[in-house]
Amino acid sequence: MKILFIGLGSIGQRHLRNLLATGQKFEFHAYRKRGLPLPKEFDSITVVAHAQLHEAIGVQPEIVFLCAPPMLQTEVLPHIVKETKAHLFIEKPIAVSTDGMEALCRVMEMQQRVSLIGYNLRFHPVHRLVAAALQTNAIGNVISARASVGQYLPEWHPAEDYRQGYSANSNMGGGAVLDLIHEIDLLYSWFGNADTVKAITARRSHLEMDVEDTAEILMRFNTGVIGSIHVDYVQRAPFRNGMIIGDEGTILYDLLKNRFELLQPGAAPQVEDFEGFVRNDMYLNEIKALLAAIENKTACVPGLRNGMEVLNIALKAKQDGGN
Model pLDDT, residue 30: 97
Judged against a pLDDT cut of 70, whether residue 95 lies above it is answered with yes
Judged against a pLDDT cut of 80, whether residue 316 lies above it is answered with yes
Model pLDDT, residue 323: 61
Contact assessment for residue 221 and residue 228, using Cβ atoms and an 8 Å cutoff: no
Mutual angle of helices 101-110 and 70-83, in 10-degree steps: 40
What is the bridge-based pairing of β-strands 194-202 and 142-150? Answer: unpaired
Give the pLDDT mean for 115-134: 98
- Identify the structural domains of the chain with CATH numbers, from first to last: 2-119 (3.40.50.720), 121-275+302-321 (3.30.360.10)
Q: What is the DSSP string of 41-63?
A: GGTTS-EEEESSHHHHHHT--SE
Q: What is the pLDDT of residues 203-258, one digit of tens each?
A: 999 999 999 999 999 999 999 999 999 999 999 999 999 999 999 999 999 999 99
Nearest residue to 106 via CA among 126, 124, 82, 132: 82
Banded pLDDT at 67 (limits 50, 70, 90): very high
Nearest residue to 148 via CA among 258, 227, 250, 249: 227
Q: What is the pLDDT of residues 284-295, one digit of tens each?
A: 999 999 999 999
The CA distance from 263 to 250, in Å, is 5
Judged against a pLDDT cut of 90, whether residue 199 lies above it is answered with yes
Give the pLDDT mean for 185-198: 97
